Amino acid sequence: MPTEPTSYDLVISGGRVLDPANNVDAKLDIAISKGKIAAVEANIDSSGSKRTVDATGLIVTPGLIDLHVHAAGGIRKPSNDEFMVAPDTAGVSAGVTTILDAGSIGALNSGGLVNYLVPNANTRLMALLNIGKMGVANLPEVKSADDINHDASVEVIQSNPEIIKGVKARMVTPGIQALGNDMPKAAKAITDEAGGFVMVHVGDIAAQDPLAVDLTPSLLTDILGEGDVVTHTLSGAVGALLANGSLVSQAQEARNNGVYFDVGVGGGNFTFEAAQTVIDSGFLPDTISSDITAMGIYAGPVFSLVECMGKVMTLGISFEDAIRMTTSKPAEILGIGDDLGSLSVGTTADISILDLVEGDFSFREASGATKAGSQAIKPVMAVKDGVPQALDHGPHPWGWLPVQNG
C-alpha cells in the first residue's frame, strides 16, 4: 500500500530558509500544522497540504520582531493620531509578526492596549510601560516625580506579564533636568519588584542639553543591568553613546554586564555619521528596530522595519546578521526564544517571507542626508500562528523598496 502524504495546513516550498537560531541557511521547505512548525526539510510532499506557498527565489525567516515601535494607535485619539500607528500597520501588514510598543502607554492608561488592542490585532503585540504614568498621552511624559506611579506600574506588569514586558524611560528634556538619573532608577525599582526589563532612550533629542552627556556614563554602568536595553545606539544626539566624537567607554562595560543595545532608528535618533563611528569602534548593536511612528512611516525617514534593516546594512552589517538582529536576538531579550525567533520544529509558526533585492538604493536619515546601498529588503508575506496575513502596499507611493538612484 502506498503511503498517504502527510496532511499539513500549509507548506512553504522552495525558499532559502535562513534561521540564525539554528544555524540554518539552505533551500528547504517548511510544513505547518495547527499553528506549529511541523517539519523543516528538503522536498516536503505537499500534495496532501491544504495550502502551498511557492517561495522560490525568496528568503524564509523566523517571523521578524520589531523591538521598538509606537503602535498603540486608537487608544490615544479616535482618529488622525499624529504619533502612533495601528499594531498591524507596524506588524503583519509590513511582514513583521511580533512588535514591542516601547512606552506609548503608561500604567494609568494601559487597559486599552491590554484589553482592546492585543486581542484585536493580528500582530503579536507586547509593550513596555512608559515611566510616565500617562505615557505619550501627556507629552512630555515626565516633568516631575509626580508623573511616576510606582505601585500602579508594578500592578500592571505583574497582572499582565505575557504582554507588559517592563518599563521604558526617555533621557530627554524636561525629565532629565527634573530628575536626572533618578528617572531610570525609578524604572529599575519598578522592574526589580515586578519583573521584566528596562529600556532606556539615550540622546536628548528634545533639547540637546549637555546634562545628558553627564548622566549617560552612570546610567550605563551603575543603573542598567543584565537584560536591560539601551535604545538609539546609533544616535548622534547629545547624551547618546558618542562623546567628543568617540564611543563612551561605559558602553562596553554595560555590554559586559549583560545590557543589550538596540538601534531604534526613529525620526531623529539615527545618523549615518554617528552610526559609522559607533560601528567602526567595533561596537555592533544587538538588535535592529524601527521606532516607527505615524510621523515617520510615510514621510520617513523610518518607513518600515525592513527599510531600517537595509539602512543598517549600508554600514557593513550583513543581511544574515540583520535577520539575526530582528529574530533570535529580540526573542532572547523578550524571553520568548523557546517558542519564537526560530524555525524549530514544534514552535509557533511565525514566519516572514522576504525578497532581498539587488540594486542602487538611497537610504535617508532625518537630516536629509543619504547613503547608498546595494541591497534592499521587500516583505512578501507574514505568517502568524500558521496563517498567512495580508500585506500592505508599502509606505512609498511605489511600494516597499527605498528610493532607487538613477
Residue 183 DSSP SS3: helix
CATH topology of 10-61+348-354+376-404 equal to that of 63-334? no
192: cell is: 526589580
| Model pLDDT, residue 90 | 98
Domain boundaries, the chain: 10-61+348-354+376-404, 63-334
DSSP 270: -
| Model pLDDT, residue 2 | 59
CA 148 – CA 134 distance, rounded (Å): 9
What are the backbone angles phi and psi of residue 25, rounded to the nearest 5°?
A: -150, 90
CA 394 – CA 302 distance, rounded (Å): 12
The one-letter code for the residue type at 328 is S
- Please, is 178 exposed, middle or buried when counting C-beta atoms within 10 Å of its C-beta (0-12, 13-18, 19+)? middle
Of 395, 384, 350, nearest in space to 19 by CA: 350
> Does residue 182 contact residue 146 with C-beta atoms inside 8 Å?
no
Other CB atoms within a 10 A radius of the CB of residue 172 amount to: 24
> Does residue 59 contact residue 30 with C-beta atoms inside 8 Å?
no
| Model pLDDT, residue 387 | 98
Contacts (Cβ under 8 Å, ≥6 apart) of 203:
171, 172, 212, 232, 235, 236, 237, 238, 239, 240, 269
Q: Which helix (H) or strand (E) holds 6?
A: none
| Model pLDDT, residue 4 | 78
Of 394, 238, 368, 360, nearest in space to 301 by CA: 368
Residue 42 DSSP SS3: coil
Q: Which helix (H) or strand (E) holds 295?
A: helix 294-297
Cα R_g (the chain), whole angstroms = 21
Class of domain 10-61+348-354+376-404: mainly beta
Cross-strand bridge partners of residue 168 = 130, 199
pTM > 0.95: yes or no: yes
Q: 121-133: b or e for each residue (b if 16 or more CB lie within 10 Å)? A: bbbbbbbbbbbbb
Q: How many residues does the chain have?
A: 406
> Does residue 119 contact residue 141 with C-beta atoms inside 8 Å?
no
- Could you read off the pLDDT of 176-205 as tens digits, one per residue? 999 999 999 999 999 999 999 999 999 999
CA 392 – CA 381 distance, rounded (Å): 10
CA 223 – CA 225 distance, rounded (Å): 7
Q: Which helix (H) or strand (E) holds 132?
A: none
Residues 117/119/122/123 CA torsion (nearest 10 deg): 60
Residue 67 DSSP SS3: strand
CATH fold of 63-334: TIM Barrel (3.20.20)
Of 147, 146, 212, nearest in space to 176 by CA: 212
Of 48, 64, 62, nearest in space to 3 by CA: 48
Residue segments in the chain with a per-residue pLDDT below the cut of 50 = none
Other CB atoms within a 10 A radius of the CB of residue 249 amount to: 12
Q: Which helix (H) or strand (E) holds 337?
A: none
| Model pLDDT, residue 138 | 84
- Please, is 353 exposed, middle or buried when counting C-beta atoms within 10 Å of its C-beta (0-12, 13-18, 19+)? buried
| Model pLDDT, residue 78 | 85
CA 316 – CA 86 distance, rounded (Å): 32
Of 48, 46, 35, 126, nearest in space to 349 by CA: 35
